[in-house]
Structure 1
Amino acid sequence: MKVFDVLEERGFIDQVTHEDEVRELLNEGSIPFYIGFDATADSLTLGHFLQIRVMQHMQRAGHTPIALLGGGTTMIGDPSGKTDMRKVMTKETIDHNAKCFKEQLSKLLDFSDGKAIFVNNADWILDFNFLEFMREIGVHFSVNRMLTFDCYKNRMEQGLTFFEFGYMLLQSYDFLYLYRKYGCKLQLGGSDQWSNMLGGYELVRKLEQDKVYSMTFKLLTTAAGIKMGKTEKGAIWLDEKKTSPYEMFQYLRNVDDRDVIKFMKLLTLMDMDEIKEYEKLQGAELNKAKEKLAFEIVKDVHGEEEANKALEASKALFAGGADSENIPSSEFDKKDFEEGKNLIELMSEVGLIKSNSEGRRLIQQNGVSVNDKKVSEIDRTITLDDFTDGSLLIKKGKKIFHRIKIK
């Protein structure tokens, strides 16, 4: 099956400029295409993973991914979907984040022998002369038209700075630069980027008199309308230091029944015939599909060994036990508990809760257990007497466990 048809069948495609032409372009030839990643954090998330899967499908079909690291555009911050101005980050932080993105993408795409390309728009944006840029690029953008785009229109009441207003011009110039240097014909991105992408598509066509295209993908959302990869604790990160393989596995293992097949199509490289077999499962049998979904993604992000560990730990927990060595754990000094340590403070330290108020609420709702005994006291203190053979187990809700070890 041709790659456009693959993307369509798996449910990726949202909007396309000149769909028939893009279908022919992708199905009949080999082209460079790009996706941009603004370096707003020091790790990619599960939300980015959908776009990475698209790049993998495209690369498998012989196309050349250009992974654009937004070292320059991150200096402004994309106003799309934001209710206020993004916090301005230092260049050092942005450079560090871009380096982290590059390391993660290198594990998921094949960059050998020019099969994929890394670029950082800081290399051309940071050297711009303002007047020259506005004379060459700014003259091609209508303020009236820009204000009709949602990314700007939705911010008019709260306030929109001229600083942010320039984001679309810079992202549009990226497309022009990559067209001129690499012959890039296609920009891909999430559906929230449609306005910005149209700016680049129109700019290249106007200045270069050539056909280029843009295509967006549906944002990764759950059946409940929530962004996929968001939890009470925050995002599901691809960096194992921020989200452990076990935590990622558990998150995916617990997706809504209505989402499991959809996420198999979008987030795994499983063959569609195999996915259709899982689609036949109903009721409790869907747990097999959820385990497969979680295993495939954790395997591709963290390796098969970590996926097997997470699977084994998950099976132990769903069987009603909590004796697996693969459950997330933290080690403390024995001295920390000699005079007692507040449970809520301990849960916060190991990342089980984001705030003390969340901890108090969970205890009041009977949502916390220590060594399988419900905790009812908000001021519960953990002492050495709570440990058996140097460890204790904290349970949050029904399925989240964390082992505390002392040395």
Structure 2
Amino acid sequence: MKNVFDVLKERGYIKQTTHEDEIRELLGKESVTFYIGFDPTADSLHVGHFIQIMVMAHMQRAGHKPIFLIGGGTTMIGDPSGKTDMRKMLTREQIEKNGDAFKKQVSNMLEFSEDKAIMVNNADWLMNLEYIPFLREVGRHFSVNRMLTAECYKARMEKGLSFLEFNYMIMQSYDFLQLHEKYGCKLQMGGDDQWSNIISGADLIRRVKGEPAYGMTFTLLTNSEGKKMGKTVSGALWLDGEKTSPYDFYQYWRNIDDADVEKCLALLTFLPMDEVRRLGALEGSEINKAKEILAFEVTKLIHGEMEAKKAQDAAKSLFGEGANDENIPYTEIPRSEFSEGMEILTLLDKINIVSSRSEGRRLIRQNGLSVEGEKVKDFTLLIKEEDFKDGKLLIKKGKKVYHQVRLV
């Protein structure tokens, strides 16, 4: 079997490693226990986490053992990495509820059993630490001068870095030490914004245990212009079907730029690289076939084949003649709200397909909005109950975004 390190490198996952040659050799000769941590700051994983889950799946398929770490303790502190402001403080109850949602979502991608993969929560060892003993045993290994040079802290120094957040690196490093002692974990992986925390954890193990430990980070999911992917009008592209419908999820990938197709196929699907390169090389209208395959494969991984098929069928219906498929996203609004008419800009805002009323005006000005197939020309257009057909109204934004309004 091909060394999984080479697989990850070929597909474009790997950004940085602590010891590239040693890691590659280790992954080629034994089953390695590794971990990735996920702080449950929301009630769903989003597409930014998906890269890391894909890496875990590739590693597991190659015979290595993932530890999916829920950051029940570290979320109480808040990771300053990549953040301009301090994170919102969550209660233990909120954190536990979010962690349960993470477990459910990732179970579709990874096989959990004692010898295949495990899920642990760092609240189990962080929440009951004794402060003075912890400082003496662990804190003494950290240099404040060195910590302040880390990117995750440097970016925050001007706006202010709380002492609470300053502890985050030590907490994450201690996680790695605990997992090393309890489960023989030798490798920590994560997004490239975690590089400082990861190398700090590997260094702590070497200092305390005198044993080797390694780190690897992955490229962040960005488009050809270097901007983060996974942002929509309504916010993040969530993996929870209640927060981002399977249809909207499918359509996001169906509508990406041509230049991003090959990269996304490599990172977000398990298609063989020969097929990835073939699809990525398609040009003109042919590239749309590659986008359909990408959208279907990613949606299938997250929501299952049945939901992926529904989303695919809905998209084909909308771009064909019917435009009335039951699987397209919709918003239910009380019939009474249309008794005297609702302004189109208010409706657009209510169904969340524009980020602001000004975007709605711009959309209408550019002839980018249709209601039941008719272009909207007037900002003050009133949508009335009689405009609905069988209690439904189809709104089209641009060429590819459809949303149905249903009366209740």
TM-score range, shorter chain: over 0.9
Deviation, structure 1 residue 334: 2.9
Amino acid at match of 2:52: Q
The within-5 A match list for 1:329-348 is 329-348=330-349
Deviation, structure 1 residue 354: 3.4
> CA–CA distance in 2 between the matches of 1:46 and 1:225?
16
**Secondary structure of residue in 2 paired with 1:107:** coil
**Secondary structure of residue in 1 paired with 2:175:** helix
Match for residue 125 of structure 2?
124
Q: Which deviations, in whole Å up to 9, do the C-alpha atoms of 1:355-374 show, x marking residues without a partner?
A: 33433443344332211222
Match for residue 271 of structure 1?
272
**Secondary structure of residue in 2 paired with 1:352:** coil
Match for residue 65 of structure 1?
66
> CA–CA distance in 1 between the matches of 2:152 and 2:407?
51
Q: Which deviations, in whole Å up to 9, do the C-alpha atoms of 1:13-71 show, x marking residues without a partner?
A: 11111111100111111021000001111100111111000000000011110000111
Deviation, structure 1 residue 159: 1.2
More displaced 10-residue stretch of structure 1: 56-65 or 124-133: 124-133
The within-5 A match list for 1:349-360 is 349-360=350-361
**Secondary structure of residue in 2 paired with 1:366:** coil
> CA–CA distance in 2 between the matches of 1:202 and 1:143?
15
> CA–CA distance in 2 between the matches of 1:403 and 1:303?
24
Match for residue 382 of structure 2?
381
> CA–CA distance in 1 between the matches of 2:280 and 2:370?
36
| Contact preservation (8 Å) 2:108, 2:301 | no
Amino acid at match of 1:180: E
TM-score (norm 1): 0.96
> CA–CA distance in 2 between the matches of 1:365 and 1:97?
41
More displaced 10-residue stretch of structure 1: 366-375 or 223-232: 366-375
**Secondary structure of residue in 2 paired with 1:261:** helix
Match for residue 167 of structure 1?
168
**Secondary structure of residue in 2 paired with 1:114:** coil
Deviation, structure 1 residue 120: 0.7
Deviation, structure 1 residue 353: 2.7
The within-5 A match list for 1:31-46 is 31-46=32-47
Amino acid at match of 1:86: R
Q: Which deviations, in whole Å up to 9, do the C-alpha atoms of 1:200-231 show, x marking residues without a partner?
A: 00000110111110001111101121111112
Amino acid at match of 1:70: G
The within-5 A match list for 1:137-176 is 137-176=138-177
| Contact preservation (8 Å) 2:233, 2:353 | no
> CA–CA distance in 2 between the matches of 1:95 and 1:325?
35
Deviation, structure 1 residue 74: 0.8
**Identity, % of aligned pairs?**
58
Q: Which deviations, in whole Å up to 9, do the C-alpha atoms of 1:328-352 show, x marking residues without a partner?
A: 1233343332222233333333222
Mapped pair 1:313 → 2:314: yes
Mark the runs of 5 or more structure 1 residues left unpaired by the alignment: none
> CA–CA distance in 2 between the matches of 1:81 and 1:219?
12
Match for residue 178 of structure 1?
179
TM-score (norm 2): 0.96
Mapped pair 1:229 → 2:225: no
> CA–CA distance in 2 between the matches of 1:328 and 1:158?
40
Aligned length: 407
Deviation, structure 1 residue 314: 1.8
Match for residue 253 of structure 1?
254
> CA–CA distance in 1 between the matches of 2:160 and 2:21?
39
> CA–CA distance in 1 between the matches of 2:80 and 2:331?
39
Across the aligned residues of Structure 1 and Structure 2, the Cα RMSD in angstroms comes to 1.6
**Secondary structure of residue in 1 paired with 2:259:** coil
> CA–CA distance in 2 between the matches of 1:383 and 1:146?
61
**Secondary structure of residue in 1 paired with 2:328:** coil
> CA–CA distance in 2 between the matches of 1:347 and 1:97?
30
**Secondary structure of residue in 2 paired with 1:36:** strand
Match for residue 57 of structure 2?
56
Deviation, structure 1 residue 89: 1.7
Mark the runs of 5 or more structure 2 residues left unpaired by the alignment: none
Deviation, structure 1 residue 113: 4.4
Match for residue 220 of structure 1?
221
> CA–CA distance in 2 between the matches of 1:55 and 1:100?
18
**Secondary structure of residue in 1 paired with 2:125:** helix
**Secondary structure of residue in 1 paired with 2:107:** helix
Match for residue 294 of structure 1?
295
Deviation, structure 1 residue 162: 1.1
Deviation, structure 1 residue 184: 0.4
